């Protein structure tokens, strides 16, 4: 059997190694147009920021090392220019000498990945304008920085690569501005959770210009003007386009393969395309979302590796199936860690799901053990069925552990109420006897039992202002003085039982505290005395972070960083 693989890196290189482990006699050829067949995409920003200092550290395998171990013929600087399914060949150009030839195959695997999205606007192609996808892109950016010593940069786009690059360029001492059309960074997060991400970026000196559309680029004073719709241009010494990626599917389209959303390659759960004996994996393929069951594009390294293995199994006569992607991801942003899995509240509603949620602020480990830090968790589940849909966590220590537990629970089909039953490891330096994941489960179980009734930030503007409801803040006097929501009367939780006469029993009571715990205790006191009451999800800490972020986004005025 002869297998030709187009593209290395995560999907292609994984498939090549797996095919060899399953079939010692197979002839395997990989064509890679760049000079690197297996490299750490996710590490590229950290090389630019001098966190990774050795270029060799980015290349996981070389053509020689791959051949030595797996006897796979890795041909770098070779571009496959067309596929001929009718005669089972591909046309290849050797980019080093211009030689053109055809290579036959029994099985063909496409792993072309995705390319940085470049908007059709004036100025794309300027010397000071960069994209980041390959090792070569990384070296080009690094060489430009070392040679020209730019003091300012605009990053067009606020996804994972853009934010990781922002951190690393900031560490190099550059003034960094992020501009993008949505009014938030990192779309896997809901806007309310993104507020905590925005706060950290601003704290580190990153200028955020959100809700603005880039209309083009123009060379100016040795740098670049980033032209914005309806606003003054942003000026910087260099610009990096990081507005997302587009499936690199030109080969597949020309060969007549079925394409899906955004031109992605349609595959079944065996990673087979619409043409016999042609498989596809990685960022270029359309997948099924594990949670919604809908078609999705999730360009992440983990799914690409899994898909490469599954395609290899089936190429070798197996029967492996891809169960779908759920988009688990995590990113380091200076001191902060932000992670998500499944779908967020916005996506759930767009998919027509009726949702509920809990928002909590647990400590990373036992409060009495030094060094614990608060994290913010948001867990989304389906109303009535309590099916887990997704989770988002922003914090410091322990975020990775909790998001992985929640990702596993979603994959296992657990109900949100069952999170309370998970038997998780505990010692004071690592967690609490009631782990944050357990706490989310307790809260959801209380909702299911009718013990906890909630109200949310989006309800605030619709609460009656005519005195027909009671608005109650149960924090301390000092906390209340430092900031509160207009119209909320203060009765600290520890004084509540003695002051029930101050609250009209005929009116619903909407309660808030700093994190949601004291207000929950207050609702139980009130409910035990015959009151109808609702607890604010997230607490004043959450309210204050989101509202402050909204004010800063609306007040932000783009300006050149050298002005």
Catalytic positions: 42
Burial of residue 46 (number of CB atoms within 10 Å: 0-12, 13-18, 19+): buried
Residue whose pair of structure tokens reads 């007549």 in the numeric block:
256
DSSP 51: S
Q: Assess contact for 115 and 41: CB atoms under 8 A.
A: no
Distance CA 409, CA 418 (A): 9
- Locate 473 and state its tokens: 């803040």
- Locate 507 and state its tokens: 């009116």
Q: Assess contact for 544 and 536: CB atoms under 8 A.
A: no
Rounded to 5 degrees, what are φ and ψ at 224? -135, 135
Burial of residue 512 (number of CB atoms within 10 Å: 0-12, 13-18, 19+): buried
DSSP 396: B
Distance CA 78, CA 8 (A): 11
Cα 220–Cα 224–Cα 230 angle in degrees, nearest 5: 95
Distance CA 25, CA 17 (A): 13
- Locate 88 and state its tokens: 């089972």
Please choose, from the candidates 269, 263, 3, the residue with its C-alpha nearest in 3D space to the C-alpha of residue 110.
Answer: 3
């Amino acid at each position: 059997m002869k297998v030709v693989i187009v593209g290395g890196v995560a999907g292609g290189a994984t498939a090549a190694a797996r095919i060899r482990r399953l079939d010692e006699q197979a002839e395997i050829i990989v064509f890679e147009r760049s000079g690197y067949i297996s490299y750490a995409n996710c590490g590229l920003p950290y090389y630019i920021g001098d966190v990774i200092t050795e270029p060799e550290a980015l290349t996981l395998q070389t053509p020689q090392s791959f051949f030595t171990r797996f006897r796979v013929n890795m041909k770098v600087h070779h571009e496959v220019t067309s596929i001929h399914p009718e005669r089972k060949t591909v046309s290849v150009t050797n980019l080093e000498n211009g030689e053109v030839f055809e290579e036959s195959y029994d099985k063909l695997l496409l792993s072309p990945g995705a390319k940085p999205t470049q908007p059709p606007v004036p100025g794309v192609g300027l010397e000071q304008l960069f994209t980041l996808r390959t090792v070569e892109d990384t070296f080009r950016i690094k060489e430009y920085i070392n040679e020209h010593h730019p003091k300012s940069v605009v990053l067009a786009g606020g996804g994972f690569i853009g934010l990781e690059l922002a951190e690393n360029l900031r560490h190099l001492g550059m003034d960094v501005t992020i501009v993008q059309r949505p009014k938030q960074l990192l779309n896997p997060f809901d806007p309310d959770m993104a507020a905590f991400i925005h706060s950290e970026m601003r704290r580190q000196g990153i200028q955020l210009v959100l809700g603005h559309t880039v209309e083009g680029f123009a060379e100016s004073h040795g740098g670049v003007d980033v032209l914005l719709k309806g606003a003054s241009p942003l000026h910087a010494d260099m610009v990096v386009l990081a507005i997302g990626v587009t499936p690199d599917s030109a080969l597949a389209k020309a060969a007549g393969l079925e394409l899906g959303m955004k031109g992605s390659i349609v595959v079944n759960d065996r990673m087979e395309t619409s043409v016999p004996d042609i498989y596809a994996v990685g960022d270029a393929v359309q997948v099924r979302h594990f949670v919604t069951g809908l078609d999705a594009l999730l360009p992440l390294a983990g799914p690409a590796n899994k898909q490469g293995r599954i395609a290899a199994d089936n190429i070798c006569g197996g029967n492996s199936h891809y169960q779908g992607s759920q988009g688990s991801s995590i990113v380091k942003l200076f001191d902060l860690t932000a992670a998500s899995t499944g779908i967020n509240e916005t996506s759930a509603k767009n998919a027509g799901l009726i949702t509920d949620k809990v928002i909590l602020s647990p400590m990373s480990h036992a409060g009495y053990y030094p060094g614990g830090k608060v994290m913010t968790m948001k867990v989304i589940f389906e109303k009535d069925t309590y099916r887990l849909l997704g989770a988002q966590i922003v914090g410091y220590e322990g975020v990775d552990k909790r998001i992985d537990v929640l990702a596993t629970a979603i994959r296992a089909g657990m109900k949100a109420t069952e999170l309370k039953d998970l038997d998780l490891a505990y010692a004071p330096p690592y967690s609490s006897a009631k782990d944050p994941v357990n706490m989310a489960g307790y809260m959801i179980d209380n909702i299911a039992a009718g013990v906890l009734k909630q109200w949310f930030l989006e309800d605030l503007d619709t609460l009656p202002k005519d005195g027909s409801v009671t608005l109650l803040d149960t924090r301390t006097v000092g906390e209340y003085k430092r900031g509160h929501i207009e119209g909320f009367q203060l009765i600290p939780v520890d004084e509540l039982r003695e002051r029930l006469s101050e609250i009209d029993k005929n009116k619903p009571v909407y309660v808030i505290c700093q994190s949601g715990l004291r207000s929950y205790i207050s609702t139980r006191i009130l409910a035990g005395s015959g009151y109808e009451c609702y607890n604010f999800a997230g607490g004043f800490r959450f309210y204050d972070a989101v509202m402050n972020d909204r004010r800063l986004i609306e007040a932000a005025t783009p300006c050149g960083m050298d002005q």
